[in-house]
Amino acid sequence: MDYLKVWTSFRQTISTLNDSEKGRLFDAMLMYAETGEEPAEFKGNERFLWIVAKQDIDRTAQKCEALKANASKGGIAKSRNQQALANDSKSCQILANDSKSCQMEANPALNIKKYKVKKDKEIINNIFAQFWAAYPRHEAKQTALKAFEKINPDEELLAKMLSAIEKQKRTSQWQENNGQYIPHPATWLNQRRWEDEVTTSQPKAQIPAQGYHQRDYSNAQEDAFERMMALGG
């Protein structure tokens, strides 16, 4: 195929990728459109969008071949076909005789949007898995996932979350009674608890009186003990 057609809605589809991932994806799309060869492997999240990109390229190539065949039957010169195929915006108008063909060709964009939602779900599930593995209380996972999806953290925010979890794990509140007071993960997310200021306080050491074993006394026992010591034992 001599050209690569990309709908403007594809910009939203790749919005979750960084610049390097976008570059690798478009390079793979160009190579596939030109040679039909697929990349051996991907290095990042662009692999999640490659399937829909490949399918769109294949679909466009099939439609172009069909339109060229129909055009030749209608007596349109090959030179005119080539000129139309080279121009993205005019190919439907020249090779098809009605506006419906353009609308039908635009339908794959709707499929891309549906596929985007599915793939975005996969990406955020992978990111959520990192949060879930780090968080020490594993309850109501689906509720936590919904809260996580609303936040939709980027790499920087996820790093802040994971760092906050590690700090909060060391607090006395989270360690008390085997983690009884650790918030549910959904609560922690909804309340943006990664923004909490964490202070760790060391328990004061109790130094027993010299010559005596450390014990716990009630007030009455302490008074009796002091009177006994005053009388000489």
Angle 108-134/99-106 helices, nearest 10 degrees? 10
More confidently predicted of 195 and 210 = 195
Every domain of the chain and the residues it spans = 10-113, 135-195
Per residue in 88-135, pLDDT (tens digit) is 555 545 444 544 544 444 455 555 555 556 667 888 888 999 999 999
Least confident range of 138-147, 157-166, 220-229: 220-229
**Mean pLDDT of the residues in the chain:** 76
pLDDT at 18 over 80: yes
Q: pLDDT at position 147, please?
A: 94
Q: pLDDT at position 99, please?
A: 47
pTM: 0.40
Per residue in 160-181, pLDDT (tens digit) is 999 999 999 999 989 988 888 9
Q: pLDDT at position 118, please?
A: 61
